[in-house]
Amino acid sequence: MADTIDLYSDRGAKLKSGVDINDISPMRNAAIKSIVTGIKRTAAVDLAGIEKTLATSAIGGKGRKIPGREMKLDIVKNAAAIQKAVNELVQVDSGDDTVVKALNGGKQLIVQVPSVRIDVAAEYVSSLTCTASAVTQALVSQFNIGMFDAPTIKSAVWGQYPQTLDMVGGNVKSIVDIPQKDEGFGYTLRNVMANHLAATCKKSAMNTAALCSILENTGVFEMGDAIGNQTRHRLLAFSHQGLNANNLVYGTTKALGKTGTIGSAVHACVEKAIADKVISADKKFASGYTTYKTNDVGKWNAYCAAGTLVATLINCGAQRAPQSVSAVLLYFNDLIEKETSLPGCDFGKVQGAAVGFSFFSHSIYGGGGPGVFNGNHVVTRHSKGLAVPCVAAAVALDAGVQIYSPEKTSGLVGDVFSSVDEFREPIKAVAGAV
């Protein structure tokens, strides 16, 4: 008999009842398929950035300027004509699913290449490459650029590529990184900066966690880690942490919100698991300490996953800063293990990720802060699908205390990708597809 869940919004409103857990699988849910395919198809073009790059001849990124190569072009003012040209160049057939729209008064373009360009490719970079080529050609044609100045246009669009692996200093961006930077099989959808996710969801913490969870767990399926008895195990954790199944995350966070701590989140999670008969008392020692047991390891793991996000929302939300998220990931699970004698979220892998993560994000090593991390990093990759959604949620709660904030690293991505409803509000989209 299949597990069933109720799906709730990021504000605790019931969206769907009695949902078969298999219906939220990335293999079956139409909204998740659309989100994943859409992300692979989508590129953001910074027309205002191209105009500024050419005007200042600061081509190729930080520290690079070529005096005498300045070009004054009214690119933003001609955004409508450029949009039309890019659409004609990118599409394969008239009426296919190509999307090219100008945003923010012509300062940006969102380009979604036709699905066929992704379907017939070995990789997913057609959104970047085809968009960059189309924009380059459109600008050359629109402004009658000669053969000796065309390379400057190309460099303003593409950046240093192909001297570099990616488009360093360019003005076309994707939310996923290039394949050459993946840690191994199936890491592409986990290779998305937390800042990008927060910006895409307009810093809605639960939607940010949901989008991250969708991408992470789709990556888990691609890796082959959700086969056989692991399928249910993964879907339970995904639904309870990422999709607010049974209102476990929102309801608990709201109940604890005013006075909550990591410790009270542990208590609430354990009490809920006992009440729902997920765990039960096993042995009581002379000291009064009681060990617990479970007949459903997958569901206990799901409750721990939801509890880890609850603790993150309470702790990082209270201080409006994400730097403590590594401590939350570590100590919520350390405490829940001591409280119950059962394994914490992801059988200790969340704790392990947290220890290394704290060192690399802001401890002795320093580094860029939680917002620049993703699930493709050497210290975060070990917990598949359950640690980084909490990091992304913490970043969404940031009031501006990171050196590298979403506003600094992800302005273009946020402006463009947030214009797509299912990217911005994934919980609602997934529930609507069951």
**Catalytic site residues?**
365
> What single letter denotes the amino acid at residue 80?
A
* DSSP codes joined into one string, 202-256: TT-HHHHHHHHHHHHHHHHHHHTTTSTHHHHHHHHHIIIIIS-BTTHHHHHHHHH
Q: How many CB atoms lie within 10 A of CB 258?
A: 8
Any idea how long the chain is? 434
Pairing outcome for strands 172-173 and 42-46: antiparallel
Q: What is the DSSP letter of 155?
A: H
Decide if 140 contacts 153 (C-beta within 8 A).
Answer: yes
Maximum Cα–Cα distance across the chain: 87
Decide if 329 contacts 350 (C-beta within 8 A).
Answer: yes
> What single letter denotes the amino acid at residue 8?
Y
How far apart, in Å, do the first and last CA atoms of the chain sit? 18
> How far is Cα 103 from Cα 301, in angstroms, rounded to an integer?
42
> How far is Cα 168 from Cα 171, in angstroms, rounded to an integer?
9
Provide the phi-psi class of 65: left if phi over 0, else alpha when psi is between -120 and 50, else beta: beta
Decide if 322 contacts 399 (C-beta within 8 A).
Answer: no
Provide the CA 313 distance to its chain's centre, in angstroms: 17
Q: Give the tokens for residue 213.
A: 């969870």
Q: How many CB atoms lie within 10 A of CB 407?
A: 15
